[in-house]
């Protein structure tokens, strides 16, 4: 008998939705991949902690680290303490550093787990930044703490820098100072204002082509200190143009949650590697697709990833900064956590209609690992919301 659930439609009526069979993606990948692929991992909140959720993060450390083990089992790297983990959006720097410490310890215990950690300036409130030197000191403080744990750095975009910089020269000064000091090559992070409005005009201009020139100039001056750059602009043409201009040996890490499949596949000249929030939510499919690509089966790669793209575009629809809600909802549906609770109460940032459509698209992509469990959990959320 087909498995069904009653889901709301846009016209406020209910439909009886029939689920498709799960695709049964492997839970472990052992084959070497031909793309470097990081999943920006979310954190699991502790729903029973006595705290003020809007003010103090409460983390379920065991489930949070278990989810990273899940990603590593699939052959993916972990991009730790990034915006997917609500960094600067509920997760403060002291808790971020504790998350980094625990994840690095778990990675070391595995011996071969790939991990890189976000270093930023989020402990410096933008309104308290008075100068470029303030920003430099803030970056140095976080980098020193992560490098003391033998962590590899993802150099996150800085709200404080966006506030105090007067033009591209200020960005060149900050990044030049930081890159001259780091112990290992870093991944730079260019996060568009659709993800964080406080980063509008990053690299000293609102003109994306001019901003790209500034970023490429910095990369060119410090290429041995740059492993790659992740850009999250949701503009595949800009990414393609930029990756063609990168120095040899510097990777383009796509952060384009709308067009990742074609960007990872490449254009015959160059391809993008991946550092994606959506890889948290679609990790089994992502790993299976990358394994097909490694075997030279590009058709199989697209067959797996193509159905995930509508889901990703839905999760990352405007206001894009609320995408974390969809990522955590997927983890809840698939049993990686027993609740749909988030730091800062961000489970409330998406509508019931949004979550219902997410369920449909996840089912169509074969991403509900246990459909019966997913139906029970979807029904529980709908009941809380009056359905």
Question: Is 360 part of any domain?
Answer: no
Question: Is 341 part of any domain?
Answer: no
Neighbour tally for 194: CB within 10 Å? 18
The CATH number linked to 135 is 3.20.20.70
Dump pLDDT digits (tens) for 75-133. Answer: 999 999 999 999 988 899 999 999 999 999 999 999 989 999 999 999 999 999 999 99
pLDDT of 30 above 90: no
- Nearest alpha-carbon partner for 227 in 246, 204, 201: 246
Question: Is 209 part of any domain?
Answer: yes
Between CA 354 and CA 99 the distance in angstroms is 30
Share of residues in the chain with pLDDT > 90 (%): 92
Q: What is the mean pLDDT of residues 197-211?
A: 95
In this prediction, residue 276 carries a pLDDT of: 97
Q: What is the number of domains present in the chain?
A: 1
Dump pLDDT digits (tens) for 214-227. Answer: 999 999 999 999 99
Confidence of residue 1 (pLDDT cuts 50, 70, 90): low
Question: Is 166 part of any domain?
Answer: yes
pLDDT of 241 above 70: yes
In this prediction, residue 52 carries a pLDDT of: 85
In this prediction, residue 308 carries a pLDDT of: 98
In this prediction, residue 205 carries a pLDDT of: 95
What is the rounded average pLDDT for all residues in the chain? Answer: 96
Dump pLDDT digits (tens) for 158-190. Answer: 999 999 999 999 999 999 999 999 999 999 999
Please tell me the pTM assigned to this model. Answer: 0.96
Query: 91: which strand partners?
Result: 87
**Which of 33-37, 192-196, 209-213, 370-374 shows the lowest per-residue confidence on average (mean pLDDT)?**
192-196
Q: What is the mean pLDDT of residues 224-248?
A: 96
In this prediction, residue 7 carries a pLDDT of: 97
In this prediction, residue 139 carries a pLDDT of: 98
Between CA 43 and CA 81 the distance in angstroms is 9
Question: Is 18 part of any domain?
Answer: no
- 360 contacts: CB under 8 Å, gap ≥ 6: 7, 17
Between CA 176 and CA 180 the distance in angstroms is 6
In this prediction, residue 88 carries a pLDDT of: 86
Which is it for the CA torsion 26, 30, 33, 37, positive or negative? positive
Angle in degrees, CA 10, 329, 197, rounded to 5: 80
Q: What is the mean pLDDT of residues 357-367?
A: 97
In this prediction, residue 89 carries a pLDDT of: 87
In this prediction, residue 53 carries a pLDDT of: 81
Question: Is 9 part of any domain?
Answer: no
Share of residues in the chain with pLDDT > 70 (%): 100
Rounded to the nearest angstrom, the gap between the alpha carbon of residue 216 and the centroid of all alpha carbons in its chain is: 23
In this prediction, residue 130 carries a pLDDT of: 95
What is the span of the domain harbouring residue 235? 33-323
In this prediction, residue 23 carries a pLDDT of: 86
SS3 160: helix
Q: What is the mean pLDDT of residues 292-304?
A: 97
Q: What is the mean pLDDT of residues 200-207?
A: 95
Question: Is 258 part of any domain?
Answer: yes
pLDDT of 384 above 80: yes
Rounded to the nearest angstrom, the gap between the alpha carbon of residue 258 and the centroid of all alpha carbons in its chain is: 13
- Pairing state of beta strands 226-232 and 251-254? parallel
SS3 276: strand
Question: Is 228 part of any domain?
Answer: yes
């Amino acid at each position: 008998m087909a498995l069904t659930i009653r889901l709301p439609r846009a016209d406020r009526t209910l439909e009886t939705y029939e689920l498709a069979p799960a695709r049964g993606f492997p839970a472990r990948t052992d084959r070497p991949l031909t793309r470097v692929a990081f999943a920006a991992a979310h954190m699991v909140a502790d729903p029973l902690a006595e705290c003020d959720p809007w003010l103090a993060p409460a983390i379920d450390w065991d489930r949070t680290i278990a989810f990273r083990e899940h990603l590593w089992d699939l052959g993916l790297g972990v991009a730790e303490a990034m915006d997917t983990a609500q960094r600067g959006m509920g997760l403060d720097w002291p808790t971020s550093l504790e998350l980094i410490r625990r994840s690095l310890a778990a990675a070391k215990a595995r011996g071969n787990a790939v991990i890189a950690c976000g270093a930023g300036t989020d402990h410096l409130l933008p309104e308290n930044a008075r100068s470029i030197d303030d920003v430099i000191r803030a970056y140095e403080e976080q980098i020193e703490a992560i490098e003391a744990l033998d962590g590899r750095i993802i150099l996150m975009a800085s709200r404080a820098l966006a506030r105090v910089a007067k033009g591209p020269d200020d960005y060149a000064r900050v990044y030049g100072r930081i890159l001259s000091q780091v112990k290992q090559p870093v991944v730079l992070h260019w996060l568009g204002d659709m993800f964080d409005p406080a980063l509008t005009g990053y690299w000293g201009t609102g003109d994306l082509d001019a901003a790209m020139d500034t970023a490429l100039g910095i990369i060119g001056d410090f290429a041995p200190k740059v492993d790659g750059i992740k850009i999250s602009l949701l503009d595949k043409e800009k990414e393609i143009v930029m990756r063609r201009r990168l120095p040899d040996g510097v990777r383009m890490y796509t952060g384009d949650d709308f067009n990742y499949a074609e960007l990872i596949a490449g254009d015959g000249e160059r391809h993008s590697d991946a550092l994606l929030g959506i890889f948290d939510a679609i990790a089994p499919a992502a790993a299976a697709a990358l394994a097909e690509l490694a075997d030279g089966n590009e058709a199989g790669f697209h067959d797996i990833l193509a159905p995930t793209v509508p889901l990703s575009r839905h999760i990352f629809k405007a206001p894009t900064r609320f995408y974390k809600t969809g990522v955590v909802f997927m983890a809840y549906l698939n049993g990686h956590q027993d609740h749909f609770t988030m730091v800062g109460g961000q489970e409330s940032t998406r509508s019931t209609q949004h979550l219902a459509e997410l369920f449909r698209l996840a089912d169509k992509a074969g991403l509900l690992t246990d459909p019966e469990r997913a139906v029970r959990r979807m029904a529980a959320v709908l009941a809380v919301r009056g359905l």
